[in-house]
Structure 1
Amino acid sequence: MITAIGFIALGFAAMEFSGWFIHKYLMHGPLWMIHKTHHQPSKTFFELNDLFSVLFGSIALILIFTGVESLDYRFWMGVGISLYGVLYFVLHDVLVHRRLKWFDRPRNTFLKGIFKAHQAHHRTNQKEDAVSFGLFVVPKKFFKNEEN
């Protein structure tokens, strides 16, 4: 069980790091034509940028399906990636962007920091000059000045 928890945590952490890297260097780089739909006002529920979620979800499913028979590391890493995806959806799409209106603005210090960091990221709708590319690991400065 400890090994399973370790691989779940590894899958989760790998998503935060790879998500940051992919967001900064690919989405705000050569894949900007897809990602820019996330930085522009949308008239529809879905945006082209949602293809990235399909890609990451597919990787998680492949890992789960290839590891389910023996419940090996692939299964547990797929679970970790899936857990990250669910929390990403709730924090990013529901709480921050309000694609579903389930929650009010966050009051929790940690969630407020994530909210502020993502607002800072969206201050520009350009490929360059964006800041804060992670979801859970954000610069400390976004957790200061709590009156906002």
Structure 2
Amino acid sequence: MVKAVGFILIGFAAMEFSGWAIHKYLMHGPLWSIHKTHHQASKGFFELNDLFSLLFGSIAIVLIILGFDALDYRFWMGVGISLYGVLYFFLHDVLIHRRLKWFDRPGNSFLKGIFRAHQAHHRTNRKEDAVSFGLFVVPKEYFKDKEK
């Protein structure tokens, strides 16, 4: 069981850190034509950028299927990636971008910091000059309460 939890955490962490690199170097690089739909006003519920979620979700599904019989590291890493995807959906799509208005804006200091970092990321609609490419791991400066 300890190994399972470890692999879940590895899968989750791998998504945050690979997601940061993919976001910075691919989405704000050669894949900008897809990702830019996320930096523009939405014309509907879905954006072309949502294809990235399908890609990451597909990786999780493949890992879960490959590791299902033995319940080995692939299964648990797929679970970790899936957990990341669920939390990403709630934090990014529901709380930050309000694509579904299930909850109010974040109130606690951790969520406020993530919200501020994401707002800073969206201050530009260009692929250059963007900052803060992670979701859960963001620079400390965004957690400082500037309202005082």
TM-score after normalising by structure 2: 0.98
Output the amino acid matched with 1:137: V
Q: Which runs of 5+ in 1 are unaligned?
A: none
Aligned position for 1:49: 49
User: In structure 1, what is the Cα distance between the partners aligned to 2:57 and 2:135?
Assistant: 17
- 1:5-20 maps to which residues of 2 (within 5 A)? 5-20=5-20
Q: Does 1:133 align with 2:130?
A: no
State, as a whole percentage, how many aligned pairs show the same letter.
81
Question: Residue deviations 1:95-143, cap 9 Å, x none?
Answer: 0000000111111100000000000000000000000000000000000
TM-score after normalising by structure 1: 0.98
Aligned position for 2:105: 105
Aligned position for 1:82: 82
User: In structure 2, what is the Cα distance between the partners aligned to 1:81 and 1:43?
Assistant: 29
Q: CA RMSD in A?
A: 0.9
Aligned position for 1:72: 72
Shift of 1:147: 2.8
Q: Which runs of 5+ in 2 are unaligned?
A: none
How many pairs align? 148
User: In structure 2, what is the Cα distance between the partners aligned to 1:71 and 1:84?
Assistant: 19
Question: Residue deviations 1:47-95, cap 9 Å, x none?
Answer: 0000000000000000000100110000000000000000000000000
